[in-house]
Amino acid sequence: MDREEVKKLNEEKEKVKKLLAEYKRKVNKEMEKHVKEMEKNEKLKAILREIEEAQAKHPGEKIKAAKSVTEINVKHWDELYQGDIVLSVEQAQYLLDTVTETENRALVRAKRGAAQNAREFPNHKWPMLVPFSFDSTISSEMKAYIYKAIKLWNDNTCLNIVEDDETSPRIHFTNTVGWGCWAHLGMQSSQAYQVVQLEYPDCYDLGGISHEIGHALGFVHEHGRYDRDSFVLFHPNNVDPQKLYGFQKETSESADNYQVPYDLGSMMHYYANAFSINGQYTLVPRAEACYVTMNCDNDGFQNPDTCTTCICPQGYIGAKCQDVDIGGYAPGGIANTCEGNILFATSNWQDINGQIGSDYMDSKIDYSYCHWQIFPDIGQIILIEVLDVGQVCVVGCLLGNTEIRTAANRGATGVRLCCRSDLGSSGRLTITATNGYALISLYSFSKIQHFRIRFRQY
């Protein structure tokens, strides 16, 4: 980057700071009205009392979490929007125009003219292929974290984020000491590359990196949706008065929700006590929801009845679905011959012979089960060969089956086999697992089910 380019960027940075300062001043002033209104909100007060009572029953349970983005970025607060977003001059001007229009609609509309009234927030979309590159400050260890976050986006969206250090514009990951964690919002077509800044080690967790990539792709914070108040209660009294603007909602003109439901567990959602001045909650889910979001492993989801445990996909157990359920269960006390296990693939073939159930077993509502989970070395693919299955063969495998799950979403149903014909004409079915695991499950409602499988990695 030459001197002229650096000079231009610094000039734009100063313009954004001035625009944001005026925007924040206006919004904070407006949000002060909400503070007085919420003091009268008896429903919110009751919910907060309930939370405080529950916490009081478990003193010392809460531990100090890692630094929040707000704490990490404190030195750059005047340059950032909502704590971790870098805006272009055009985007910052739009925000200021919008809040000014709210203050004095008639005057602003007369100045701006009808053609500009309906303009959308300048958040430029990427094409389906999104290139990215690494700065020399990003180590191999940091790259491993970033690759995982990119895989999360690639596996769960229609985007294809690919490493390419030549195409422009592109996302460029940097690790500049003292600069914190932030990203530009949406594609910046006027720049050869746009920075996603991730300072080591504070910014290096999967959720945080995925969050900043989300901003670079054009996603705003979930709590800023215009329909937020239908799902969460905002408690401004607990917010630092200088940071009230961080809870300003988008409008239906500035952001499109694409009819996607509000997601309390979104990686783009603020945490419950974001921007708090006293450590208390600033965002509280409405009555039926859970006040604290559980982060469930292995694609489990929060149990809405207890709010403190997860509902796990079959094959996983534990409060957070963190453990493999390798044990088995047999209804009616029938002996279970299954011996599940956690296995590690090598370059050599290994055999698994699974059998479950009994000749005397016949149930329509209960079943025996057992699970084996296979892990490869990092970056390796698991090759599975199914050599035999049976013995109860029915259409749809309704009385029992061997199921093999390999999808990125571990809760997704896998390949189910119960007939030798399911293995194809060769009598041998080959499956590859590319997502760092394979889960083999054996189920039986009636009689005996078995399989013979071998596996290795490559």
pLDDT in tens, 384-429: 999 999 888 876 677 788 999 998 888 777 888 888 887 877 888 9
In a domain, 199, yes or no: yes
Find out whether 221 is annotated in a ligand binding site: yes
More confident residue, 274 or 363: 274
pLDDT tens, residue by residue, 108-129: 333 333 223 335 666 688 999 9
- Residues 366 and 255 placed together within one structural domain of the fold: no
CATH number at residue 342: 2.60.120.290
Is residue 380 domain-shared with residue 271, that is, in the same domain?
no
- Of 190 and 272, the one with more pLDDT: 190
Q: Are residues 255 and 386 in the same domain?
A: no
pLDDT the model gives residue 70: 80
Q: What is the mean pLDDT of residues 276-293?
A: 71
> Mapping DSSP to helix (H, G, I), strand (E, B) and coil, where does residue 404 land?
strand
pLDDT tens for each residue of 291-344? 566 678 888 877 765 667 788 888 888 888 888 887 666 665 454 556 668 899
Indicate if 50 and 102 belong to the same structural domain: yes
Instruction: Report the distance separating Cα 20 and Cα 80, nearest Å.
Output: 8
Number of Cβ within a 10 Å radius of residue 342: 12
pTM of the model: 0.61
Instruction: Give kind and range of the element (H or E) at residue 208.
Output: helix 206-217
| pLDDT for res 110 | 32
| Dihedral sign for Cα atoms in the order 426, 383, 314, 300 | negative
Shared-domain flag, residues 277 and 333: no
Structural domain span for residue 414: 326-457
Within this chain, do residues 280 and 375 fall inside the same structural domain, yes or no? no
Residues 216 and 164 in one domain: yes
Query: How high is the pLDDT of residue 3?
Result: 75
- Residue 337 CA to residue 330 CA, distance in Å, equals 9
Judge if 339 and 443 occupy the same domain: yes
Residues identified as active-site: 212
Q: Which of 145-159, 275-289, 312-326 has the lowest mean pLDDT?
A: 275-289
Same structural domain, 245 and 349: no
33-to-96, 236, 244 alpha-carbon distances in Å: 19, 10, 11
pLDDT over 90 percentage in the chain: 34
Q: Are residues 199 and 348 located together in one domain of the fold?
A: no
Q: Is 215 annotated in some ligand binding site?
A: yes
CATH number of the domain enclosing 106? 3.40.390.10
DSSP classification of residue 250: P
Same domain for 263 and 352, yes or no, is no
